[in-house]
Structure 1
């Protein structure tokens, strides 16, 4: 059944456009994969200017529910998508930088999320997911891996395990929380006095974590990932607290 569009009020126009689109998503009239009408058609139907419509579409792109392809052809225009990971990661990273959340808040959120995801992954992980996780661990253990690549692989490993847990929301939140502190963790790794030893120690824990998940030992994996997170992330918290005390 075609979507029925109605004109919106003119005050705070782009917010009203957002509300109109949101209502159609909530009603099930718009789903992931659906395309919105072209701007030249949708703007007059809604009774708004094309600039107001574009502003609303940019907001939807930012929050990860729409992708806009410029130009002409079958792939051009705006399409409803489901892409929450990047959007939530960007949002959380900005709020963390602005001081909305402390390092302690992020640490505790990581602990809760990753304990849950590792324990669940031990029950639900597939052989294919195990193979992919193992490939990440193997690459992290190679001597030519530098700090930035190791940090990327480390992030991918933790997010991959969360996805293997079977809980999409846990996966998305884990990705967002880990991404919010990626720059700080990268800096901490770069400042390590003995990088090869640091990398080897971290990856030994990755290897053990993967072994526990593979063996279905979820409780032990949960305990180990908490120690793993607190050993590095907790150091960042301690360092920040020390600087605060020195400045006060």
Structure 2
């Protein structure tokens, strides 16, 4: 979208926005529904300004409190930003959702939804196969340095389970970031982050098997990194697949 298009209102691009009155029951949720419909239909785009609180309440025939609650919810999600005053940043403006906001929402939904573990593993495999294959063709020098730093930290003799888990997460996140596909990266990061605590719990429950499992995970990571560095996307994807599934098997035996 050009700068001039981003600075125009939906009305200026053609026609009134079709706001419809909503029922009083759960009115703030229905306000959210209407704004979402406008975004999905393309009537509201990034940079567009919503009607003022008073006007929007009048259009939808709800209280200003309901509009205010809906806007606060959208702000928390990163969908809109609100500014005070009378300048160009004043009012409520539709904004591009930051990656952090998307990953936060996905992470929380995965953690709360209580999906079967095998479903989560399968989803991770699908996403991380894609991330690894893409990283093999897109990773930069900085990306490789981030992966190596995480792996080197995991190989320190004094690393404990919590630090090991944090570095393991950092390694997988670095691969996702190197993929060059923002959506795949965000979904991969959200899934891996959602598993951080369960994985840490499993690592802590390994007892005497901790050293053996940690050595296997390190070996897997070295093999994945080698495949990505060689530019072999297919091999990198296969090694990530095997790593996630074998790690799940090893960790599921923990007390």
- With structure 2 as the length reference, what TM-score do the two structures score? 0.75
What SS does the corresponding residue of 2:22 show, helix, strand or coil? coil
Q: Is the 8 A contact 2:81 2:92 kept in 1?
A: yes
Q: What is the Cα deviation at residue 44 of structure 1?
A: 4.4
Matched, 1:84 2:102: yes
CA distance in 2, matches of 1:78, 1:147: 45
Deviation string for 1:163-210 (max 9, x for gaps)?
A: 322222322222232233222111011122244554343223222211
Matches for 1:52-91 after TM superposition, within 5 Å: 52-61=66-75, 64-66=77-79, 80-82=95-97, 83-91=101-109
- Give the match for residue 241 of structure 2: 226
Superposed CA offset, 1:15-50 (max 9, x none): 332233223323445444666566466544544323
- Tell me, yes or no, if structure 1 residue 123 matches structure 2 residue 129: no
> Would the aligned equivalents of 2:129 and 2:240 in 1 still touch at CA under 8 Å?
yes
Structure 2 matches for 1:77-226, cutoff 5 A?
Answer: 80-82=95-97, 83-96=101-114, 101-194=115-208, 195-226=210-241
Q: Could you say which residue in structure 1 is the equivalent of 2:4?
A: none
CA offset digits 1:31-79 (Å, max 9, x no partner)? 44666566466544544323212332344356x3436679889889755
Note if contact 1:7-1:47 (Cα within 8 Å) is conserved in structure 2: no
1:10 is matched with which residue?
A: 22
8 A contact 1:8–1:16 mirrored in 2: no
Map of 2:14 onto structure 1 = none
Specify the SS of the correspondent of 2:21: coil
Q: 1:49 to 1:6 in 2, by over 3 A?
A: farther
Say if 1:107 and 1:234, in contact at 8 Å, map to a contact too.
no
Following the alignment from structure 2 to structure 1, what is the Cα–Cα distance between the partners of residues 147 and 29?
Answer: 42
* Structure 1 residues 2 and 156: alpha-carbon distance in aligned structure 2, compared to 1, 3 A threshold: same
Name 1:244's counterpart in structure 2. none
CA distance in 2, matches of 1:104, 1:2: 47
Establish whether residue 20 from structure 1 lines up as the match of residue 27 from structure 2.
Answer: no
CA RMSD of aligned residues (A): 3.2
Q: How far does residue 161 in structure 1 lie from its aligned partner after superposition?
A: 1.0
Give the CA deviation at 1:90: 0.8
Q: Is the 8 A contact 1:155 1:178 kept in 2?
A: yes
| Shift of residue 239, structure 1, vs aligned partner | 6.6
Q: Which moved more, 1:169-178 or 1:104-113?
A: 169-178
Secondary structure, counterpart of 2:136 in structure 1: helix
With 9-18 and 104-113 compared, the bigger mean Cα shift is at 9-18
* Structure 1 residue 155: Cα displacement: 1.7
Equivalent residue in structure 2 for 1:50, among 31, 54, 64? 64
